[in-house]
Structure 1
Amino acid sequence: MTVTLCCDVSAAAWLDSTDSSWGKLVCLGPDGFERYARLRFIPDPTQTGQREGDVAGDEDRGTETEQLRTAVDVLSAHTTTVDDCYFALWDGWGVTPAGGPARPTWQLPDRDYFLFQGPLSALGDEDQWREALRTSDARWWLPVPAFVWPADRAWCLTKDVDPHYAGIGASGAAIEDLLVRSGLDLVLSDPADTPPHYS
């Protein structure tokens, strides 16, 4: 199974109908999950006005895509539809499916996305995404999906373009498994709180 563009975006309707604020939806995911956590790509800011560029990178963490791949490897044990998942790709990355619609297929306030369907293993698989986006450009890089969720909606992973972290809503058991997974900088997050952010 490979990644394919969804022209029918009804699979995303559950995200449209959430009572979550826009900021919570794109940063942590929709309401209704037992627990939420943030996967930090860099540490949280330690002072007001701090910029991401002021933080020294940790090469041991791996790229954002590598960290997300590790997280979904854990989450794959917490879904019954590992081969049937959805990926929403923000249109602001400047990549569009060749031969597909000229406009994004799914919209939220302030963000437009192309919705794709495929196996969870597609996350981070450049070959699958090159085929889905019909590009052979050697300079091309793989954008991080803004939303990833399995068809059974057992969990939802979000990565908006602005925050320094990805949000994860899932069962308590799934979050516990993520918290003990070596190599992930994961912290619990209360959806009622505003997560730390850089200027």
Structure 2
Amino acid sequence: MEWMRETAAGDWIRDRLDASTATGAHVPGGFEAYARVFHPVFRERPVGAQWPEPGDEDAWERFAAAGHEIDTESVTWRQAADALGSRFDALDSWGSLSAVPGHDDVRDGAGWRYQDPDEGTLDPGVLTAVARVLIAHTETPDDGFAAVWDGWGGLVGARAAPSGVSAVYSESGIPEHHAVLRASFKDAFNAPLRKAGWRPGVLSDEISRGPRFDLPTRSHVLFRAAPTAWADDGWPETVPWNEPDAPWLHSPSLIWPDDRAWVVVTEVDADSTIVGGTAALIRALEAADGVEASEVPEGAGLE
């Protein structure tokens, strides 16, 4: 996977964004069809016991001291909806689907307690399953690109400003970046004895200081990456932003092949991923094992 200093390969995405809809602001338009890929839902329940009621601190202390075994599993949104007695719709938010009267947290009648789906990242195994479908729907499965949002904590190096604020040092043209830098310089003038320093990130200093692939609302680090790479179960160990001791791994924010036959967009604040492509691709995703996907209209799916 090769870092791209030249970012023009992504210009077509910027040209096809439409800020008039929540999804269109992040997902390029013009594809024949779109699918929403739902991020898995994690749930847990104690073996041979019940969760204490929310807010009952004494009960929670006794529960913790008892050392109960906890069952855990990942389920689909449809499975969660069935268990919670909710109606599943491809355009629903997790919040509307998981609203359970009388509870501060989300539980079903069988004792499972639910966590919100991950936002901004697609489960590695699900991405692999999606990619195995994608590579059959492009003429360039060995040539493509991937971009990762540069705002993930610690991903890129940053200049620790005299004010104590971390200012990203890059050649980005995003006005917010310049505003932070201007504020940092002003504070340095007012407090000359405080020195700025450089804090390295997971990615190299060269990448951290280099150009970004900028979209209207996000700034990304762009890599040349074969679509087939994501179809390999071992992709998490091969990406440049892999941090071996970290408890998480971020999936790419965008993936597309050289022929632009499709695009995968995982928006930072979204609990699902949008795929744009041909109608045949979307039907294949809906039928794929290990993937929960539903067709959605263009400009929908992230509300």
- In 2: Cα distance, 1:110 partner to 1:192 partner: 16
**Offset from partner CA, 1:66-122 (integer Å, 9 cap, x none):** 111101110100011111111010011131331324255111122110000021233
Greater RCO, 1 or 2 (C-alpha within 8 Å, sep 6+): 1
| Residues 41-64 of structure 1 deviation map (CA, whole Å, 9 limit, x = unaligned) | 14243638959x747269xxxx71
**2:252 partner amino acid:** P
Q: Determine what percentage of the aligned residue pairs are the same residue.
A: 27
User: 2 CA distance for matches of 1:15 and 1:86?
Assistant: 12
Q: Is the 8 A contact 1:91 1:104 kept in 2?
A: no
Q: Give the AA of the match of 1:56.
A: Y
Partner of residue 39, structure 1 = 37
Tell me by how many angstroms 1:65 deviates: 1.8
Instruction: Check the 8 A contact 2:213/2:222 in 1, yes or no.
Output: yes
Letter in 2 for 1:30: P
Which residue does 2:215 correspond to in 1? 108
Query: What do you get for the CA RMSD once the two structures are aligned?
Result: 2.8
**1:139 maps to what in 2?**
245
**Residues in 1 aligned to 2:2 and 2:299: alpha-carbon distance in whole angstroms:** 35
Q: Residue 89 of structure 1 aligns with which residue? A: 148
Q: Is the CA contact (8 Å cut-off) linking 1:104 and 1:113 kept in structure 2? A: no
CA 1:48–1:196: 2 relative to 1, 3 Å = farther
Higher radius of gyration, 1 or 2: 2
* Structure 1 unaligned regions, length at least 5: none
Query: Shift of residue 173 of structure 1?
Result: 0.7
Question: What are the ranges of 5 or more consecutive residues in structure 2 without an aligned counterpart?
Answer: 42-76, 78-92, 107-112, 117-121, 157-202
Residues 85 and 115 of structure 1: CA distance in aligned 2, closer, same or farther (over 3 Å) = same
Q: Aligned equivalents of 2:286 and 2:220: distance in 1?
A: 30
Cα separation, partners in 2 of 1:49 and 1:13, compared to 1, 3 Å? same
Code of the residue aligned with 2:257 in structure 1: it is: P
Aligned residue for 2:255, secondary structure, equals: strand
Q: How many aligned residue pairs are there?
A: 184
Matched residues in 2 for 1:196 and 1:128: separation?
29
